[in-house]
Amino acid sequence: MTATRTPGLPAIEDGLLISTSPATGAEAGRVPVCDEKAVAATVERAAAAGLWWAGLGFDARKVRLLRWRALLTARIEELAELTHAETGKPRTDAIMETVAAIEHIDWAARNARRVLGPRRVGTRVLVAEHVGHLEYQPYGVVGIIGPWNYPILTPLGPASGALAAGNAVVLKPSEYTPMVGQWLADTFAEVVPEHPVLQTVHGLGDVGAALCRSGVGKIAFTGSTATAKKVMAACAENLVPVIIEAGGKDALIVDADADVEAAAEAAVWGAMTNAGQTCIGIERAYAVAPVYDAFVAAVVARAGKLTMGDEIGPMTMPGQIDVVRRHIDAALADGGRAVLGGAGAVQAPSVAPTVLVDVPEDSVAVREETFGPTLTIARVADADEALTRANALPYGLGGAVFGKQNGIRIARRMRAGMVSVNATLSFVGMAGLPFGGVGESGFGRIHGDDGLREFGRAKAITVRRAPSLLPSMTFERTPAQVRRIVKAVKLLYGRRP
Ligand code: NDP
């Protein structure tokens, strides 16, 4: 028996990656680890499967994706149980995560033809003899590299778009959540048994790196900003395009006319759900002076009632506990105060809800992604100051605003890819809207029309339907025809507006 144990990483024994519960240490399952050759072989099989899958066309793919959606729905409790066993997250959180993923599969299946299918494009006078055609053709194989915090939703967001667009998918789940990734591939194979259209490759970071270099047509990466840079560097070697869904430090702005109780309820949900291990989790709140005290009191009252285990699960990745502890300690050392939780809140494998106030803006607790059930709240003079502070970080994933008069105006000015007004995190479940960030939070989009388009290459085709009246693209044009073209251009574009 050969065993590899790297501190902080899951064990590998006899070529099998062992997944364990962060809450109890109990084994959740084991999967074979891939080497570079196995990754290449998987991608090769996927390429063949992708040809078949693309050839089915939109309607046949839609039927199969909707069957998979129905299977996930029927077995939602089973998936929640497995996710609970592997990540420690409360079963109800796993159910809600699956519900969101089901929404995305349904939406992508139903909308792929509309967004990606062939259509005519209006022509222009100078090329009036040609008809324009546009369609979005699949990349062949899309590699998806996913994190551990939402092991169902984060791969299925891009996978639903990639599959609906006609690509085969090779998924590299996080080493902390291989069983959930495998369950997704196995259930897909139940409804699409003909070819391996959705496969997994398992292992540590090197397997993700091998996937980037394996000849896939595109990589959809979800994970930390630091790893995103490595993924981009590996993909750059072969000009493989990437979508990057990276980390965040999302802010909530509470304006003077906000419903303070509703804002507090949503802040606690946005900051503490999944024990704060949420890329779009609210980590900072900026409340304007007139509502600041009431907001802090309401947040503390609500967050203080959350129950450990049922509502706040353990940290899924053991190493994250040290990050959370470092941020809480830094906030206190930098002059902040814990009005709930604090240094004693970190009790491995869990962290109790922690609310921090008076933390200077240059503290790591305000500037870096904490990924724990913590929230800093700062008092600001007005929405302008809140915006300046909210927008001051290199991250720009999501955000939220509570306020009546100016909610949307403030949302527009937040430097973020997505903002909820009078709610938190709500955009992630709205399948028609694009999801993705700016700056160090990444680029490219999943979900919605924009998300679907990421998984097809725009293909432009022109078809001549008549002889050219203004033949510019031929050596055989005559001087008279050139004069006519010049006359037409002057007529069309010569006037100053
Ligand atoms: P990581 O960046 O550590 O890992 C993400 C994935 O990349 C894992 O599957 C990992 O494999 C793999 N990987 C590691 N090294 C490499 C490499 N050199 N080349 C290719 N792949 C590699 O992120 P976490 O799993 O810790 O996830 C948490 C992060 O994800 C947070 O920053 C969070 O904000 C972000 N996130 C962003 C979301 C978004 O939509 N914007 C959504 C959810 C999370 P392994 O696990 O085996 O190391």
Nearest-Å Rg of the Cα atoms of the chain is 25
In a domain, 497, yes or no: no
Residue 307 has pLDDT above 90, yes or no: yes
pLDDT at 2: 55
Q: Average of pLDDT values for 352-380? A: 98
Pair 191, 44 in one domain: yes
Closest protein CA for atom 28 of ligand 1? 223
Residue 290 has pLDDT above 80, yes or no: yes
Q: Which residues line ligand 1 (CB under 6 A)?
A: 145-150, 154, 172, 174-175, 204-205, 208-209, 212, 222-224, 227, 230-231, 234, 245-248, 279, 317, 369, 397, 437, 442
Percent share of the chain, pLDDT over 70: 98
Compute the distance from residue 100 Cα to the ligand 1 centre, in Å: 20
Compute the distance from residue 490 Cα to the ligand 1 centre, in Å: 55
- pLDDT tens-digit profile of 148-190? 999 999 999 999 999 999 999 999 999 999 999 999 999 999 9
pLDDT at 37: 97
Ligand 1 atom index nearest CA of 203? 47
What CATH number did the domain enclosing 325 receive?
3.40.309.10
Question: Torsion angle of alpha carbons 174, 178, 182, 185, nearest 10°?
Answer: 0
Closest protein CA for atom 47 of ligand 1? 204
From the list 261, 302, 263, the residue with the least C-alpha distance to 286 is 263
Residue pair 272/353 in contact (Cβ under 8 Å)? The answer is yes
Pair 259, 233 in one domain: no
- State which of 12, 221, 227 you would mutate to test the pocket of ligand 1, scoring each by most atoms of that ligand within 8 A of its C-beta: 227
Q: Is 125 left (phi over 0), alpha (psi -120 to 50) or beta?
A: alpha
In a domain, 384, yes or no: yes
What would the two tokens of residue 289 be?
Answer: 């002076």
Residue 286 has pLDDT above 90, yes or no: yes
Compute the distance from residue 381 Cα to the ligand 1 centre, in Å: 37
Pair 278, 233 in one domain: no
Pair 299, 235 in one domain: no
In a domain, 478, yes or no: no
- pLDDT tens-digit profile of 393-440? 999 999 999 999 999 999 999 999 999 999 999 999 999 999 999 999
In a domain, 136, yes or no: yes
Pair 55, 117 in one domain: yes
**Alpha carbon distance 224, 72 (integer Å):** 28
In a domain, 474, yes or no: no
- What pTM, to 2 d.p., does this model score? 0.96
pLDDT at 9: 82
pLDDT at 7: 58
Closest protein CA for atom 42 of ligand 1? 279
In a domain, 344, yes or no: yes
Pair 81, 102 in one domain: yes
Residue 250 has pLDDT above 60, yes or no: yes
pLDDT at 367: 98
pLDDT at 185: 98
What is the domain count for the chain? 2
Pair 220, 296 in one domain: no
What CATH number did the domain enclosing 102 receive?
3.40.605.10
* DSSP-assigned letters across all residues of 205-265: HHHHHHHHTTT-SEEEEES-HHHHHHHHHHHHTTT--EEEE----EEEEE-TTS-HHHHHH
Pair 272, 193 in one domain: no
pLDDT at 318: 87
**Residue ranges making up the domain that contains 222:** 27-247+448-456
Pair 258, 230 in one domain: no
- pLDDT tens-digit profile of 182-224? 999 999 999 999 999 999 999 999 999 999 999 999 999 999 9
Compute the distance from residue 412 Cα to the ligand 1 centre, in Å: 29
From the list 207, 147, 143, the residue with the least C-alpha distance to 173 is 147
Residue 1 has pLDDT above 50, yes or no: no
Q: What is the mean pLDDT of the chain?
A: 96
Pair 238, 266 in one domain: no
From the list 22, 73, 72, 495, the residue with the least C-alpha distance to 277 is 22
pLDDT at 456: 98
In a domain, 467, yes or no: no
Residue pair 101/72 in contact (Cβ under 8 Å)? The answer is yes
Query: Residue 288 pairs with which residues in a beta bridge?
Result: 380
Pair 348, 221 in one domain: no
In a domain, 10, yes or no: no
Percent share of the chain, pLDDT over 90: 95
Closest protein CA for atom 34 of ligand 1? 247
Pair 383, 270 in one domain: yes
